[in-house]
Amino acid sequence: MVTLRKILIGLFALTSVLTGLVIFSTIFFGKTNSITTLFGLLWALGMTIEIVAFPIAGIIYLVNRADTKRRLGLENSIVIAKQQIDQYQTNTADTKRRLGLENSIVIAKPQIDQYQTKPGFNLLLEYSKKNNSTNWFATYGEDTSNEYDEEKLQMLQKILLKQDFKISTYDLQVLLKNISRLQFAQDLRKRLRLGTKLTLDSICERFVLEYGENSTNPLLMDALIYVLVEEGLSKYENSQDIKTKLLSIKEDISLKHFENNLKSEKQALSLADIDRMNGHDFEDFIATSILAKDGFEILEVKKSGDQGGDILANKFGKKLVVQAKRYTGKVGNYAVQEVTAARDHYSCDDAWVITNSYFTKSAKELAKSTQVRLIDRDELKRMF
């Protein structure tokens, strides 16, 4: 623009000089003189160039000014730009919420698929299974799928790198989390014992009976919706409808339990009453007042506690062994060890330890690694 400005100034000065020369030549040499004619032609040429050049220069100036504003980010104010960004993010988040995709396996699945052909992917599957139980939510009521040992994660990353599988630490953690969630959804399909004649309502009812109060948790519900979509019974867009259905089923079950309690001739028990029970009475209480009311078929109550299992029950073809511990102190590792052995001995799918007391820290840690559900005094109170 500086050079263009100088050219225009020079052109203007030249035409001004030529104007003066034409006037001077006309006065001293006359209009018909050849010198006057030459100056006149040069003046006319200069004026023509000037008339054409000035508008072109103006256009170039405006274009360069707009380009400069864009490069400096000044075409729209920062306030307007921020509003546009916020609106885009709001619209995107709203769309995800409406489609039930904000934390959905529908997003995780394509990401997992694109890594399946890479060498070392099977290693990721095994790592996820060993470090994150597919029952992580069902047992503990929270998402622990992102809790990875940093040292083990680095070792895994180095092994993958040797197999030309390059991935950042952050992306590896996200991928493992998504794999864990997908594995849980696939495991859920097995836990619900899906069959060809099951309807949407019957699957949702099984789901509520399986997970109780946690059944409307977004993480668990997302896994259910994934299963329903795979079965061709729902769409991801219908996630809110599924949640409404689950809430309705939960309410129906609660009302049914409440009605059964009203019809019962027995006076409601308190924790103090349970604390006064002997071991056998406590086992009977767990079998009839907890498991049976929750839809379990009681197969056997073993008064002798053979092989570490006090109660054998069944629901939806899934077998459960329960260790019932009426204690005054905290229940330790041995109860978890016994029920784990009983689960294997009786070929059960699940193992629980239920107590009127609480569990030691080591018992909780062992239960987590052996996939045993622990029901302490507080949870027991909510169950009857």
- 56 occurs within a structural domain: yes
Per the structure block, which two tokens stand in for 355? 């107590």
How many domains are there within the chain? 4
Per the structure block, which two tokens stand in for 120? 């070392």
- 76 occurs within a structural domain: no
- Tell me the CA distances in angstroms from 115 to 97, 118, 123, 153, 176, one per residue in order: 26, 5, 12, 17, 11
- 136 occurs within a structural domain: yes
- Tell me the CA distances in angstroms from 44 to 37, 54, 325, one per residue in order: 11, 16, 113
Which one of 265, 294, 325 terminates a domain? 265
Strand partners, 297: 314
The CATH code of the domain that includes 298 is: 3.40.1350.10
Domain of 207? 192-265
Q: Give yes or no: residues 277 and 370 share one domain.
A: yes
Query: For the chain, which residues score pLDDT lower than 70?
Result: 1-6, 8-9, 11-12, 14-33, 35-36, 39-40, 42-43, 46-47, 50, 52-54, 57-58, 61-104, 106-107, 131-148, 195-196, 236-238, 260-268, 303-308
Q: Give yes or no: residues 220 and 293 share one domain.
A: no
Q: Give yes or no: residues 295 and 377 share one domain.
A: yes
Which one of 225, 249, 265 terminates a domain? 265
Three-state helix/strand/coil letters over the chain: CHHHHHHHHHHHHHHHHHHHHHHHHHHHHCCCCHHHHHHHHHHHHHHHHHHHHHHHHHHHHHHHHHHHHHHCCCCCCHHHHHHHHHHHHHHHHHHHHHHCCCCCHHHHHHHHHHHCCCCCHHHHHHHHHHHCCCCHHHHHCCCCCCCCCHHHHHHHHHHHHHCCCCCCHHHHHHHHHHHHHHHHHHHHHHHCCCCCCCCHHHHHHHHHHHHHHHHHCHHHHHHHHHHHHHCCCCCHHHHHHHHHHHHHHHHHHHHHHHHHHHHCCCCCCCHHHHHCCCHHHHHHHHHHHHHHHHCCEEEEECCCCHHHCCEEEEECCEEEEEEEECCCCCECHHHHHHHHHHHHHCCCCEEEEEECCCECHHHHHHHHHHCCEEECHHHHHHHC
pLDDT value of residue 95:
43
Q: Give yes or no: residues 260 and 344 share one domain.
A: no
Q: Do β-strands 297-301 and 311-315 pair in parallel, antiparallel, or remain unpaired?
A: antiparallel
Q: Give yes or no: residues 196 and 238 share one domain.
A: yes
Which one of 213, 231, 265 terminates a domain? 265
pLDDT value of residue 150:
78
pLDDT value of residue 356:
93
pLDDT value of residue 28:
67
| Gap between the Cα atoms of 93 and 139, Å rounded | 30
Q: Give yes or no: residues 280 and 322 share one domain.
A: yes
| Gap between the Cα atoms of 247 and 354, Å rounded | 27
CB count in 10 Å sphere of residue 141? 15
Q: Give yes or no: residues 59 and 139 share one domain.
A: no
Q: Give yes or no: residues 275 and 346 share one domain.
A: yes
Q: Give yes or no: residues 155 and 256 share one domain.
A: no
pLDDT value of residue 179:
83
Q: For the chain, how far is it from start to end, CA to CA, in angstroms? A: 85
- 309 occurs within a structural domain: yes
